[in-house]
Structure 1
Amino acid sequence: MSWFRRLALSRFLKAHPPGRTQPAAMDLIAAYAPVLLASLLELWRKKGLGHYGRMQLALIDPRHWQPVLDRWIVSPPDAVQRIPIALTPFGALLYYRKLTATDEDVVYVDPVSKATGDLSWNLEDFFNQSLCDAAFCDSLIPSARLATARKECGPLAAGEVYQIDQLLLSMQMLRVDKVDALALHTRLRDAVDAPAPVADAPATIADALPAEQRPVFEGIFQQPQASGDLHGLYLSSYIDWHRMLSLEPDGQYRLLFWKIDHRSHARTDVRAYSGRFEVTQTEMGDRYLTLDIRLRRDSSGSDANDAQLLVMRSGTEMFLLRTDELADMATAMEGSKTLGRSEYYFRKVRLTDAFVQEPSGGRTAPPLADLPHVLQQQVNAEAIIATITHVDEIDPDAEDDGAGTVMCTLDRGQDDGLRMNTPLRSPPGTGRALVGWVWEMDPAACRAGIRYQRGSDGKVEDGPVVGDVLTNRLSTE
């Protein structure tokens, strides 16, 4: 005979064992005892707040999240109390309502889509039934997207969520970062209310700099320079995010990161680095620039992506290319005839130049002969040919007017040269017109999202099947 009583939410615990959790303080439990179910408070006390299971559902302290929820859901003082209780790994906030003496529900609000809706009409059923159902969990937290996020960024720490670049997602490319959950909600909620401008729109590159950083760069390299002189100022812009790099004749560099809000024009997220740089040259004549970047506690991990740059000169223009993005740049040059995303490169500028928004997809690529030799080799590399070995079941709920994307397994992988977001298409002459992108990495069998279209009769007319051939060579020449 067992003298140990199982927790009321034991089915949830079995399906999603606690990971990095910490038992809730007694004052927190006492504060919410009058308004939350004993079963949830018991879970707080015995297992704790934090992440549960591989799906990384986080039980949260309502005190920290109540102001956030109150900004999303504005209610009169006598309205039903809403209590935030959990957070999905992609930032959806779950909250509990006691509607009447006998009625309750669990509701979500998604800060990205701004969608909201009921998840369950009973809190215990939500934990012990809904969250124990694989199909429900996959609809709440898409498993394929979660697996990709975890593989790309690692598991979440306390207070973090995964953020997906929505602009790139609309172009069928997946980019995931880990961000502070509270900051994400605050920023997305702030975006709902158009802020009043706090600064003028920049007319010149000097105007675009944060005011406190402007004196650092003013007066540098304003004298005429030889067209091939590597020293000078370089700017990289990607939508609202900007980077300024100065290379000084004494071997010192300055690297500035900042953001310009597209409505208020406020300069935010300012980070600055300085140190030594070194220039080396290969036997083929390619010049590399290495920056000694020392990350700090306030650094973003991506700040080190500029540690090694490749010099490129085309006509009178000088560029610095991120070396770890050369493969993506080569793909863009072959497909869209551009340099790829504008964050991949710096261009040489002067502070008096007009501040013009750089195309986020990158400017037109220079002639092949102007490219560094290592990049020419990437552009001229042999095409990758992949065959579809498996096609997942289509999810009709994810379609838009009969069009959608279905995941397919390929017989080629990372070891064969495929990369995350590599664009794929049917080779010319095959009679097929498939288009897709690599979304899940594997050494030998990457998975790609391939577009499909249904006909008027509801049948898939243009979609992938096992045996279809794809290539990363996008041009038809």
Structure 2
Amino acid sequence: MPDTIAVQPFIDTFPPDAGTRVPDADFITYGEGQLPPALIELWHSHGLGWYGGGRVALVDPGTWMPVLQTWFGSGVTSVPFAVTSFGHIYHYDRVNGADRIQCLDPHFQHNAIVSEDGTAFFAEHLTGSTSHLADLRELHKAARDAQGELAMDEVYYFEPILALGGQVNLDNLQKGNGPEHVADIHRQIAARQYS
């Protein structure tokens, strides 16, 4: 396990919300062979749930895996582990022995590598000025004021969806089941492309 100091910048910037829960030992043991040590340390010390006043959640990969399969096919090898309040999915795999953390932005149909080190992802990327969390800070506050706090696996979103011409406007803002909504974005885009 990494020294907890390594991920302390993340905890300082995004302290765990009241509802975080440490998963059971079997859950953690299952994750130990598949996910970065920094994430396992966060599971051990603080748990799954929302951090930073509902800005980012450490999620159960099993709940969000069907979403990645919808977007990338059943052969996808990366594992979803964190989600922003607007449904950006962070997913992890190892390539040639090195960490790779990607972010799926479903609203603009973009997937990019954001870090090649699990500890740096938490301590530098998420806390940095170029992450989705930094970009969405004010919008998150406005969304929370308008719609209330998110339950686990809920996200804020806009209807109509941004990928099909929707607008970032609080009048269009909704909240609901994150895995269902993010998968539905892909289905709506595909239906439009093939109609």
TM category (shorter chain) comes to 0.7 to 0.9
Q: Equivalent residue for 2:156?
A: 162
Match of 1:129 in 2: 124
Contact 1:56/1:156 (8 A) holds in 2: no
Amino acid at match of 2:29: A
Partner of 2:145: 151
Q: CA offset at residue 175 of structure 1? A: 2.3
TM-score after normalising by structure 2: 0.84
Q: State the partner residue of 2:83.
A: 87
Question: Greater share of strand residues, 1 or 2?
Answer: 1
Change in 2 beyond 3 A, CA 1:107/1:114: same
Relative to structure 1, is the Cα distance of residues 138 and 117 closer, same or farther in structure 2, using a 3 angstrom cutoff? closer
1:175 aligns with 2:172: yes
1:312-359 CA distance string (max 9 Å, x none): xxxxxxxxxxxxxxxxxxxxxxxxxxxxxxxxxxxxxxxxxxxxxxxx
Q: How does 1:6-17 map to 2 (within 5 A)?
A: 6=4, 8-17=6-15
Q: Give, in whole Å, the separation in 1 of the partners of 2:115 and 2:5.
A: 20
Q: Does 1:48 align with 2:47?
A: yes
- How far the C-alpha of 1:27 sits from its partner, in A, is 1.2
What's the CA shift for 1:51? 0.4
Contact 2:38 2:118 in 1 (8 A): no
Structure 1 equivalent of residue 92 of structure 2: 96
What do the CA deviations read for 1:5-29 (whole angstroms, capped 9, x no partner)? 7454222111110002111121111
Provide the secondary structure at the position in 1 that maps to 2:122: helix
Counterparts in 2 of 1:142-291, with a 5 A limit? 142-165=136-159, 166=162, 167=165, 169=167, 174-194=171-191
Please say which structure displays the higher CA radius of gyration: 1
The runs of 5 or more residues in structure 1 that have no matched partner are 196-262, 264-477
Question: For residues 67 and 139 of structure 1, what CA distance do their matches in structure 2 show?
Answer: 24
Q: Aligned-pair distance for 1:141?
A: 4.2
- Equivalent residue of 2:11, what SS? helix
Give distance in 2, aligned partners of 1:59 and 1:141: 19
Q: Please, what TM-score do these two structures have when normalized by structure 1?
A: 0.36
Which fold has the larger relative contact order, with Cα–Cα distance below 8 Å and residues 6 or more apart in sequence?
2
Whole-angstrom CA distance in 2 between matches of 1:125 and 1:74: 28
Structure-2 change in CA distance of 1:114 and 1:168 (3 Å): closer
How many Å separate the matches in 1 of 2:166 and 2:106?
18
Letter in 1 for 2:140: L
Q: Is the 8 A contact 2:106 2:182 kept in 1?
A: yes
State the secondary structure of the residue aligned to 1:162. Answer: strand
Alignment RMSD: 2.4
Matched residue of 2:149: which SS? coil
